[in-house]
A and B are shown apart, each in its own frame.
Chain A
Amino acid sequence: MKLMKSLLAATAILALAAGAAQAKQLVFCSEASPAHFDPGPTTGGNDFDASAHTMYDGLAAFVPGSTDVEPGLAESWEVSPDGLEITFKLRAGVKFHTQPYFTPTRDFNADDVIFSFERQYKEDNPYFAYLANLTWDYYQGMDMPRYVKEIVKVDDLTVKFVLSEPNAPMVANLAMPFGSIVSKEYADQLTAAGTPELLSTQPVGTGPFKFVDYQLDSVIRYAANEEYFGGKPAIDDLIFAITPDQSVRAQKLIAGECDIIPYPAPADVPMLQANENLTVLEQEGLNIGYMSYNVTEAPFDNVKVRKALSMAIDKQAIVDAVYQGAGQVAKNLIPPTMWSYNNTVADDTYDVEGAKALLAEAGVTELTTDLWAMPVSRPYNPNAQRVAEMIQADWAAIGVTANIVTYEWTEYRERGKAEGRKGPFQIGWTGDNGDPDNFFATLFSCSAIGVSNYSFWCNEEFEDLIQKAKVTADPAERTALYEQAQVIFKAEEPALTLAHSKVFVPMNKRVTGFVQSPLGDHVFDNVDVTE
């Protein structure tokens, strides 16, 4: 009977496929299987591409190709003068996806917004723990519980976020994947049916594509959402072919089995660029590779020592050798493409003699230290071991002996955060929401010590500036504060800023309209293919 049913279903699908022979299809060879399709609790870039960016929308959205925020499901918003209330005017007439498993009876409204956020922090919400071991990592990670006091429904199309203290990056946070709006009506239907877990496997959103099917670890299929408020996408069928190996992805692209691939191996990029059937987009990544000095441990507590060690490193040589043309030397913590980048900051010049003199001035002779190298390749640092070896050689020239240490990746970060860690620590960061706060406060605020401040650096002046910038609404004022913070950062040298790397997206020439996102998102609403 089950077989019979399947056969009938298959015949139906085949008939559909035959009818839609002219359908435009785009194959994206994604890098990993999504954990599931609920955009709230997932944390990986591959999860976001498979759910938030394809099937969902947030109140706000990032302008394609930029980190500027534009209206999404909210038409507009208004921040109260004291910065404690943000009132969103919602878009009218937005439809949730109609699926074999769900038919919406009403349009998107304020209840959906409130439900989407309350489930992330209200323990009595039925969806707070609807899956086993569920954690809301981004809601927590972006510090939302500290700022969001209450979310109030003013009327069906007006929602007010009441904050406990002003927070300028809040709207940008809401544009992030965890801010995706899910259907409360659908969630209630699932609760009534006793199958809430289906929210994560049979998604219903408002986004440009509708879910069709997922074959575990293999293929995800989507169909264009005819009713999308932003207009029906040009492609009819969007397919994610999950292809974890970098080199195999490149081969699939060459063989025409994929139209777009993310994250090619740096070594494959020249080969792909040389292929006449392909285009390789490239963009400065919203990232930073750096090396944190532990400012609480001697002799790194002395700024002269930190400066001397940084001056002794030939950063350009490292970028040339390790990033192979896909990076640029970083002088600030934030990349040049980000607003408030302070171009007047002068980087430490590579000066061996100067470094020696400065070290002598600090009274340090015969320094032997650990030098930490990450065990994994990350977009901001493709080969930390090689970087460590080059730094080791540079330091040998000023009489400093470095012993390279490394651990398994989670262990590495854990030991890096441990109080009393010896020696400089390589690490890096890729931005979440395009706000400078996401770099400065996340990585070097006092409260990030023990979480992601690997320098244990808590500088009063710097802290004042970034905290003030966080609660200031005026962009010009914020820019001035962050520019000042970058000056202090360079003068104090809590970390050596090494490089910003480029990100590549290779694709078939038949693909048009794909815009690379500085946040690493892969978004397909405006993509088309020429036959």
Chain B
Amino acid sequence: MISYIFRRLLLIVPTVIGISICAFAFVRLLPGDPILAMAGEHGVTPERYEILKEAFGYNLPIWQQYLNYLGSVLTGDFGVSLGTKRPVLNEFMILFPATVELALCAILLATLVGIPAGVLAAVRRGSWLDQGTMGLALTGYSMPIFWWGLLLIMFFSSYLGWTPVSGRIALNFFLRPITGFMTIDSLLYGNWPAFVSALRHLILPTVVLATIPLAVIARQTRSAMLEVLGDDYVRTARAKGLSPRRVINVHALRNALIPVVTTIGLQVGALMAGAILTETIFSWPGIGKWMIESILKRDYPVVQSGLLLIALIIMAVNLIVDLLYAVINPRIRVR
């Protein structure tokens, strides 16, 4: 097990270098130029353009720019945003808890609804329930997130007035962040109404962000369950006279969950992608919204370091999921 973890950790090094190259190249391959983007419609004179280019270090050969970048990243310096002039890492740390709070709620919702839905569909295979659930899952999977979010806002917030339109908490609550998690912070302050407000603000973005992972988890659970339900040991369990509930919950589901856990781990990447749109719609101050705005402004330092930091986190989550996998599936530990 120790050597397994060690091997996995070692693999992170080349992956990080690869990702840093990709992120570095990606933002430079985009058409557009950070200096011109900053100058806006006023434009800059060619002389001033050259001065700024030199000041920002964009006149150096590209490989040298990359080596400088890698060098500073290795010393923990992720650069300074061209727009806000703040250290990228500092902004990331401020915004990241908001994204994590939302993503955790979304993955929780997706798992808690997706797995039972998938099990139910598998057990009642071919029934209207199965077809209905899978039809909904397919719809969810193909849902244009932006449209879906606006639709929910218009119905639940503007028309019914049940949920707030956007933001993390009602504006009359003014809590200085402690952990950065609004729900936890409001509890730490002992402010119950603020906690309720934070939860209410989480509802719609959670539903929107959970939609696609929920659909994926439900479909994955269903097919894994179907595979397992046909296996010999399930037939044996049934033959032993166990109750159908026990056969499904203990014998079938526990084995079917193995691929599902991997799927849930892989959804972390999808959540990050989904967060970009969800956070933009719900004015959620997280890293998704931050990244998309930085890309639009051609804020090179933010985009390249932001991508790198996000990739590191996804790798860490996947490592944890794989370790978890080893816990629930003893066979993998042997290898």
A contacts, CB < 8 Å to B: 3, 6-7, 9-10, 13-14, 17, 25, 27, 32-33, 35-36, 43-44, 131-135, 137-138, 140-141, 197, 200-201, 213, 215-219, 221, 239, 241-245, 247-248, 251-252, 254-255, 257, 407-411, 413-414, 417, 429-430, 442, 450-452
Contact = CB atoms under 8 A, between A and B. Distances in A.
Contacts of A241: 167, 171, 283
A177 B174 CA distance: 29
Interface stretch (B77-85, B266-274, B317-325): B77-85
A137 B39 contact: yes
Interface string B170-200: 0110111110000000001101000000000
Contact of A141 (B42, B55, B177): B42
B232 interface: no
B291 to A, nearest CB: 11
B48 A217 contact: no
Contact of A33 (B56, B166, B191, B293): B293
Contacts of A216: 91, 94-95, 285
Given A14-B191, A252-B166, A217 B44 contact: no
B36 A244 contact: no
Contact of B32 (A32, A201, A218, A410): A410
B42 A244 contact: no
A245 B153 CA distance: 13
Contact of B281 (A27, A43, A248): A248
Contact of B280 (A6, A138, A244, A408): A244
A429 B41 contact: yes
Contacts of B175: 10
Contacts of B46: 450
B80 A132 contact: yes
A134 B37 CA distance: 14
Nearest to B146: A245
Given A197-B85, A218-B168, A255-B157, A133 B283 contact: no
Nearest to A257: B165
B280 A245 contact: yes
A218 B167 contact: yes
B95 A133 contact: no
Interface in B139-169: 150, 153-154, 157-158, 161, 164-168
Most A Cβ at <10 Å: residue of B85, B86, B168: B85
Nearest to A450: B46
Given A138-B42, A245-B281, 17 more contacts: A6-B176, A10-B175, A35-B84, A36-B86, A43-B40, A135-B38, A200-B85, A216-B94, A216-B285, A241-B171, A242-B283, A244-B293, A409-B37, A410-B32, A429-B41, A450-B46, A452-B42
A239 B170 CA distance: 12
B41 to A, nearest CB: 7
Contacts of A7: 178, 188-189
Nearest to B55: A133
Nearest to A17: B174
A462 B204 CA distance: 58
18 contacts: A14-B189, A35-B84, A43-B39, A135-B55, A137-B44, A216-B91, A218-B285, A219-B167, A219-B171, A239-B171, A244-B280, A248-B165, A251-B153, A255-B161, A408-B31, A410-B33, A451-B43, A451-B45
In the A-B complex, list the 10 residue pairs whose CB atoms are closest, starting with the nearest.
Answer: A218-B285, A131-B85, A408-B31, A217-B285, A141-B42, A410-B36, A132-B80, A410-B32, A411-B31, A451-B43
Given A132-B80, A408-B30, A450 B45 contact: yes
Contacts of A218: 167-168, 283, 285
Secondary structure class of chain A's binding surface, majority of residues: mixed
B288 to A, nearest CB: 11
B188 A221 contact: no
Given A36-B85, A197-B85, A248-B153, A414 B161 contact: no
Nearest to B170: A257
Contacts of B298: 410
A290 to B, nearest CB: 13
A221 B174 contact: yes
A43 B38 contact: yes
A417 B46 CA distance: 11
B176 A133 contact: no
A220 B55 CA distance: 31
Given A133-B56, A451-B44, A247 B285 contact: no
Nearest to A240: B171
Nearest to A256: B161
Contacts of A248: 150, 153, 165-166, 281-283
A118 B222 CA distance: 69
Contacts of B136: none
Nearest to A41: B85
Interface string B259-299: 00000000000000000000011110100011001000010
A430 B161 CA distance: 38
B52 interface: yes
A197 B81 CA distance: 14
Interface in B115-159: 150, 153-154, 157-158
Contacts of B37: 409-410
B91 A408 contact: no
A452 B172 CA distance: 45
Contacts of A35: 83-85
B93 to A, nearest CB: 10
A313 B102 CA distance: 51
A257 B167 contact: yes
Contact of B158 (A244, A254, A452): A254
B43 A417 contact: yes
A9 B185 CA distance: 13
Contacts of B91: 216
A408 B32 contact: yes
A217 B289 contact: yes
A410 to B, nearest CB: 4
A211 to B, nearest CB: 14
Interface string B223-255: 000000000000000000000000000000000
Given A14-B191, A141-B42, A248-B165, A243 B85 contact: no
Interface in B88-102: 91, 94-95
A449 to B, nearest CB: 10
Contacts of A10: 175-176, 189, 191
Nearest to B37: A410
A255 B171 contact: no
A135 B174 CA distance: 34
B103 to A, nearest CB: 17
Contacts of A201: 86
A12 B138 CA distance: 51
A213 B158 contact: no
Nearest to B57: A133
A13 B41 contact: no
B176 A213 contact: yes
A27 B44 CA distance: 36
Nearest to B167: A241
Contacts of B167: 218-219, 241, 243, 257
Contacts of A219: 167, 171
Nearest to A135: B52
A150 to B, nearest CB: 22
A257 B280 contact: no
B166 A243 contact: yes
A249 to B, nearest CB: 9
A270 to B, nearest CB: 16
B38 A9 contact: no
